[in-house]
A and B are shown apart, each in its own frame.
Chain A
């Protein structure tokens, strides 16, 4: 029978190696013609390797009594015939072109009229067991199977499965039944009937072969058997596996494997074959539906491919449609043939592995979880997870998680108290996004400066999640701990095994630094704590020195050298992400780079330093590009010091001893903190080779952290500085890093020493760890990590804007509040008032929007207020309220503790002169009966933010306002007068007159713009956000571009991994 419609006619030449048929083995039973089916073995040789002898020998050794071998030579290798003849004399050899598809090559022989009952289509890399053919034939006859396969094992390790058949998904993608690397335990032997048998050896009934039209010559190697089996099943044939028939798939050399992969690359041919199989084998109506779905998958796949830089895959997706349309003629022929055998109908054959999610993912991305069911990948992951969790590192993580969860229980259930920088989200969380978009916020009467991008993310999260503000905040703040621990876990992965990672994670989690920061309501140190390990990991990888790369040795687990571009983009993205949380992260990141440089040099190697330098510069530039608005602010002249916010740090406030013991707050026991330096110390003294190099670099990071804190503490740094906790985070990271290297090295060293030394080493590390974690275990009992149980929101609800001090609902919920006190205690970021105290100005009670540092402009409201306060404090005025009232300051709050008494354990008393000054003001009224942690003065001379000035004496009545959106307010004047607004920057607010309002702006009594308005006149006040919105748009574009570049840079590597 001829092939129904061969797409190409191979250049066929036939030679016969020997006239003698293959002699049956002597030991084989004498077959009777009635019971011994004749098998036509068709071996398609496509440039086989040196293993081909083995394949032929195995074929010759088959114990099946009657079979004939024909070799289709698609290799065009002159020596192949000799090779075949030598082992299988008398074998027919059919020559064809090397470009011929597997199906077409096989058809050269299979399509001939034959007396054989079966064709056995054989790959050239399969070594059959001596009984394989016989068992396949027996199985075929036993099960009445039309197509019978065998079990293929891995050529390198015959315990592993190589191919036990496959199934197809919704779109006809071939999905292997087994996982890569799966051990043969007979787990697939019970299910004899399969959708597709193992492709290397297919025993097909000759009549069935003719009925289905043979292999589809248009399909490449991989999917031709799938098509054959599918069509056979459509005709009602059984497709089965003979589990006792075994073959061994020879593993080719890497180069040969590459060539074969290129020829049969599923990424390249998968989309084409999917469409072909669907169109060829599905009923028309279903094919139409699936075509539409495949079209959607193609569109998504194209987008995905462009994002991931898989341009060849994109090309394959698009070309698949053209190719299939071009080959539509042959497709019709095959469909017609099938229909003729089905009697005009078309049996639907649903996919076996019909998991739409996975099917679509395969169709769109070309990648999907392997396995025949949903559970397989998950089960594998779970197994890996269990294996990791039950190791030392996993146990440490679990213990850490349990301790952390136990210690945080009240914070999670009751929310985070509003202290320091942890303040509630705005009433409308979307304001965080609006503030990000417009770069304007209400802080200090109106600021036009960038806020950390993470705030916008938090706003979106709060809008989406059904949690209250304090719980969202608690999750955000507490997440910094596991994030940091996970970062260290990943960072030290190449250094050693589970034990060393466990030690590093435990030490990092037990550091007093983040707990002190948490108790004091600091955000920056926590953000650094969470992000610095990730940045450090990338910087270490960038250097590429063992174990993070292959310079100087074999990379550790997860290590390896990526391309410079890939490393730069990845580091840039991580740095940008960290900057989104805390812009000042550049300081500790620079410290890490410096430590890697100095540490490497001192350790005796400069390997990878140029690369590190290039990656650092490149990553910094990329991060600056992503944070374009902030970069432009810096270029516009914003000082780097303004990113720190106000801070008090008197000379020798801590001293070297306290810094070394991380004793900068109320957490822990300083003496026990000495344990943190024991393991790194041991590491520095005992490690060797690359372990020593890591220890030295880590110690320079430790020294760098301590040194910067020491320099600031000694008063040698005259500029703005962050808190001690901030500067000590790098030291803590260095400790964890060195401890990992020390533990890993010690494990190796001690393995070869005496038992006494082993015990001594283990005991030292164990004791140091016990001492280090004791404070954290004790601290976990209170359930809120020493954070106060209550905050000022419950003490002074009036400032939230809900009610007046006497309990009556307030009519102006946005009157401003001036906060004075130690900058750490204030619930908002402000500016320094004197050496010790800062002042902050907020609209009502502070929110997260008031927590970002800013620049104090000379003509700003806060500057005027600061001058007024200074005047009052020196006795220059007794009407401070009148001056503050110009900026609508309704309340002045003097803060002396972080939380209302008796809660909270941090506090800084204010100079009594502050109270005396406020009390002496004739227009301020002290509020009685409040908590002693705060003193509140109400301003009786306050003026509204939006007011209408009635006369020359400045008597003002509030204008009626209605916010139209975040930056647009509708105004209505209740009286005749001059409307004026106290919002900054004044030049950015524009008034659009409505009915009975003048269009001309005139300067008011304090230089502010005013508009003449008649009674009931209307207008709109709007902020000009053109520039900021444009900058944000550019930022998003830059982010997308860098993300795309990062994706492209990493796509190649992932592809190779697969």
Chain B
């Protein structure tokens, strides 16, 4: 039998060469930019369910007068939910709730738990459409706070700012585990002098369906700033810092603030700044990572010609620093501005903007409690809801700013109530506007580009600052 060799050689050679010539290069591991987790995400009725988590003290805690959970049915039909209450004594209970159209249900936590000083409340909205927030008032007019409850749980959390200054302050880290499984937390504290990683803060067990309060006042007393960093070994938690100051401290700090832990570490963090003459925030940045981070706190003004030299900060691993933006006067007369915390190295930063009362503007006006801590976020959303019910008593300021680095946002305001709102307007990158509202309305804020919306209320009874709630699936990470 005769056989020929050359055709086979030619074909096989061509195949081999072709295989290498036309070969695709392996895909690099795709870096998925997953939609970031927002503090609160609201689902319209029927889309999907929401679960809201509220953690805080009860009136049985010394210095707290009351705490109220407010559930609002934003839908145009009756809605239902399931409320689960757990406390720091290991008790838990469940109850169903029914809300008519537009109903607003207020639950006082001291009626939900028997003897506990702290309570965590989980509100399940199986069909969505519910908005949940909580109000806390301190006794002896030491302040108040009003925060949306969160829909997010975290595997890690940072609370960069708190104080255990003596006398007159109390700082508590609250861990709320609404789930069935036990969570285990490693907590690292950073005081004025050094880092504390005590044994009792390592492997801290948070039983399922419970609230655990970790008193910093005792663990790290008399520290002007205490930063807490928690890593959850297993499970997911809601982590919040409770700060109470009665005004007897040497610095005169007075107020009450519930500061949610950061959701994620990032290299790009955004905060609302201030309109002219309003807040004078101190930005506390923390680096819980393993490498040294050089960062800049960039002040973005509405006037492009009015540039401000960024605040440069170098943070070693585990270090934090507070930056008083108004201390050196470089922000004088720049008008409204927003804040951008930008890492030049690893994206392992957490930040919080702290506002406190700084003495009366008018000599005749007495000092009032004023303390807020607003964590910086790395996301924006194209649809927000802000609940300003109660602003007829204390006017609310809605701050809308465009954190984007290159996109212009066209903002549209809507409300179901009979209240006149501004027409649609545009926000350049970094610009912010403030809208003062004095009506009991819920405002929808839509935008063509991701924006950030906060609600601020300053009154003689106390200051509150919180993010509005985003509509689900509209959040986007803001990256450079």
Whether the pair A604, B15 counts as a contact (CB closer than 8 A) is no
Task: Please provide the chain A residues from 872 to 925 with a CB less than 8 Å away from any CB of chain B in the complex.
Answer: 874-879, 912-913, 916, 919-925
6 closest Cβ contacts across the A-B interface?
A552-B1, A876-B48, A926-B181, A925-B180, A693-B3, A692-B3
The residues in B between 62 and 119 inclusive whose CB is less than 8 angstroms from any CB of A are 84
B178 interfacial contact with A, CB 8 Å: yes
The reply to whether A916 and B234 form a contact with Cβ atoms under 8 Å apart is: no
> Which of chain A's residues has its CB closest to B22's CB?
A714
* Cβ of A928 under 8 Å from chain B: yes
What are 28 A-B pairs at a CB distance below 8 A? A599-B8, A602-B4, A602-B7, A604-B7, A607-B1, A651-B24, A652-B27, A653-B26, A656-B23, A689-B1, A689-B3, A690-B3, A693-B1, A696-B3, A699-B12, A871-B48, A875-B472, A876-B49, A877-B48, A879-B49, A919-B179, A919-B236, A920-B236, A922-B51, A922-B84, A925-B180, A925-B208, A926-B234
Closest to B472 in A: A875
- Judge whether B420 is part of the interface by a CB distance below 8 angstroms: no
Distance between B41 CB and nearest chain A CB, rounded to angstroms: 7
Within 8 A of B (CB), among A391-410: none
CA distance A723 to B358 in the complex (A): 68
Q: A603-B8, A879-B126 are in contact. Are A545 and B49 (CB under 8 A)?
A: no
Q: Is the CB of B235 within 8 A of A919?
A: yes
List of A residues within 8 angstroms of B208 by Cβ:
925
B361 at the interface (CB under 8 A from A): no
Q: Is A605 an interface residue (CB 8 A)?
A: yes
A684, CB-defined interface residue at 8 Å: yes
Contacts of A545 in B (CB 8 A): 1
Interface residues of B (CB under 8 A from A): 1-5, 7-9, 11-12, 15, 19-20, 22-27, 34, 41, 47-49, 51, 84, 122, 124, 126, 153, 155, 178-182, 208, 234-236, 472
Q: How far is the CB of A822 from chain B (nearest CB, A)?
A: 15
**Which residue of chain A has its CB nearest to the CB of B181?**
A926
Given contacts A653-B26, A875-B41, contact A689 B2 (CB under 8 A): yes
Which of A652, A714, A878 contacts B51, CB < 8 Å? A878
CA distance A878 to B34 in the complex (A): 19
Complexed CA–CA distance, A552 and B3 (Å): 11
A651 to B27, CA, bound (A): 7
- Scoring A residues 683 to 705 as 1 if CB is less than 8 Å from chain B, else 0, what string do you get? 01100111011001001100100
Q: Closest Cβ of chain B: how far from A670's Cβ, in Å?
A: 15
Q: Chain B contacts of A715 at CB under 8 A?
A: 24
Bound complex: CA of A703 vs CA of B8, how far in Å?
11
Contact with B along A650-685 (1 / 0, CB 8 A): 111101110000000000000000000000000011
Q: Name which residue of chain B comes closest to A940, CB basis.
A: B180
Chain B residues near A655: list those with CB within 8 A. 23, 26
* A923 in contact with B180 (CB, 8 Å): yes
* A552-B1, A921-B179 known; A714+B24 contact, CB < 8 A: yes
Please name all residues of chain B whose beta carbon is closer than 8 Å to the beta carbon of A875 when the two chains form the complex: 41, 48, 472
Count A-B pairs with CB separation below 8 Å.
Answer: 130
Which listed residue (B5, B84, B236, B472) contacts A696, Cβ 8 A? B5
Among residues 939 to 959 in chain A, which have CB atoms less than 8 Å away from a CB atom of chain B? 940
Task: With CB as the reference atom, state the residue of chain B lying closest to A694.
Answer: B3
- A1005 within 8 A of partner (CB): no
Q: How far is the CB of A693 from chain B (nearest CB, A)?
A: 4
| Shortest distance between the CB of A704 and any CB in chain B (Å) | 10
- B23–A604 contact, CB under 8 A? no
Q: When the two chains form their complex, are residues A602 and B11 in contact, meaning their CB atoms are under 8 A apart?
A: yes
Taking a contact as CB atoms under 8 Å apart, the answer to whether A920 and B180 are in contact is: no
CA distance A651 to B22 in the complex (A): 13
- Residue contact A604 to B4, C-beta cutoff 8 Å: yes
* Most chain A Cβ neighbours within 10 Å, of B24, B27, B180: B180
Which B residues lie within 8 Å of A290 (CB)?
A: none
A561 within 8 Å of B (CB atoms): no
B181 touches A925 (CB 8 A): yes
Considering the chains assembled together, what is the distance between the CA atoms of A875 and B35 in angstroms? 11
- Distance between Cα atoms of A690 and B179 in the complex (Å): 73
Residue among B12, B19, B23, B24 with the highest chain A CB neighbour number at 10 A = B19
Assess whether B124 is in contact with A879, with CB atoms less than 8 Å apart.
yes
Asked if A604 contacts B3 (CB within 8 A), the reply is: yes
Asked if A916 and B8 sit within 8 Å, CB to CB, the answer is no
Residues of A within 8 A of B47 (CB): 876
Chain A residue at minimal CB-CB distance from B48: A876
Q: Are B2 and A913 in contact (CB under 8 A)?
A: no
Known: A699-B8, A875-B48, A926-B180. 4 other contacts (CB 8 A): A599-B8, A707-B19, A875-B472, A877-B48
> Across the interface, do B180 and A922 meet the contact criterion of CB distance under 8 Å?
yes
- B23→A652 contact, CB < 8 A: yes
Q: In the complex, how many angstroms separate the beta carbon of B375 from the nearest chain A beta carbon?
A: 19
Question: Whole-angstrom distance from the CB of B264 to the nearest CB of chain A?
Answer: 12
Chain A residues with Cβ below 8 Å from B12 are: 684, 699, 703
B-facing residues in A521-553 (Cβ within 8 Å): 545-546, 551-553
Measured CA separation A871–B24 after assembly (Å) = 34
Measured between alpha carbons, how far is A923 from B122 in the docked complex, in Å? Answer: 13
Which residues of the other chain, B, contact A603 by a CB distance below 8 angstroms? 3-4, 7-8
- Whether A926 contacts B235 by the Cβ 8 Å rule is yes
Q: Which residues in B have their C-beta under 8 angstroms from that of A597?
A: none
- CA separation between A919 and B180, bound complex, in Å? 9
In the complex, whether A710 has a CB less than 8 A from a CB of chain B is: yes
Given contacts A655-B23, A690-B3, contact A703 B9 (CB under 8 A): no
- Pair A928/B234 contact, Cβ less than 8 Å: yes
Which residues of chain A from 793 to 841 have a CB within 8 Å of any chain B CB?
A: none
Chain B positions within 8 Å of A650 at CB level: 27
User: Which residues of A are found within 8 Å of B234, using beta-carbon distances?
Assistant: 919, 926, 928
Give CA–CA (A706, B178) in the complex, Å.
Answer: 54
- Chain A residues with CB under 8 Å of B126's CB are 879
Pick the contact of A922: B1, B11, B41, B179 (CB < 8 A). B179
Q: Tell me the complex Cα distance, A653–B349, Å.
A: 35
- Indicate if the CB atoms of B3 and A922 lie closer than 8 Å: no
Q: How far is the CB of A172 from chain B (nearest CB, A)?
A: 51
Closest-by-CB residue of A relative to B23 is A656
Docked Cα-Cα span, A603 to B11, in Å, equals: 11
With A703-B12, A877-B49, A913-B34 already in contact, the answer to whether A919 and B181 are too (CB < 8 A) is yes
Task: Report the separation of the CA atoms of residues A652 and B48 in the bound assembly, to the nearest whole angstrom.
Answer: 38
Complex contacts, A710 vs chain B, CB 8 Å? 19
In the assembled complex, how far is the CB of residue B45 from the closest CB belonging to chain A, in whole angstroms?
14
B25 nearest in chain A by CB position = A652
Rounded to whole Å, the gap between the CB of A934 and the closest CB of chain B is 13
Whole-angstrom distance between the alpha carbons of A872 and B46 in the complex?
15
Residues A916 and B27 in contact in the complex (CB < 8 Å), given A599-B8, A710-B19? no
- A657: chain B residues at CB < 8 Å are 20
Q: B178 — nearest CB in chain A belongs to which residue?
A: A922
Give A943 to B459 CA distance when docked, in angstroms. 53
Q: Chain A, 568-602, contact with B by CB distance < 8 Å: what is the 0/1 string?
A: 00000000000000000000000000000001001
CB distance from B265 to the nearest CB of A (A): 14
Chain A proximity of B130: nearest CB distance (Å) = 13
B1 touches A916 (CB 8 A): no
Contact B1 A605, beta carbon cutoff 8 Å: yes
C-alpha spacing A688/B194, complex, angstroms? 83
The distance from the CB of A911 to the nearest CB of chain B, in whole angstroms, is 8
Chain B residues in 8 Å Cβ range of A605: 1-3
B151 to chain A, nearest CB (A): 8
A684 touches which one: B9, B19, B26 (CB < 8 A)? B9
Q: How far is the CA of A696 from the CA of B11 in the complex (A)?
A: 11
A551 to B235, CA, bound (A): 72
Whose C-beta in chain A lies nearest to the C-beta of B236?
A919
- Let me know if A878 and B124 touch, CB within 8 A: yes
Partner of B49 from the list A551, A703, A878 (CB cut-off 8 Å) is A878
Q: Which residue of A lies closest to B180 (CB)?
A: A925
Identify B122's interface contact among A651, A707, A922, A940, CB under 8 A: A922
The answer to whether B8 and A696 have CB atoms under 8 Å apart is yes
Q: How far apart are B247's CB and chain A's nearest CB, in angstroms? A: 39
The answer for the CA separation of A871 and B128 in the assembled complex, in Å, is 14
- A715 nearest CB neighbor, chain B only: B24
In the complex with contacts A599-B8, A656-B19, A878-B124, A690-B1 CB distance below 8 A: yes
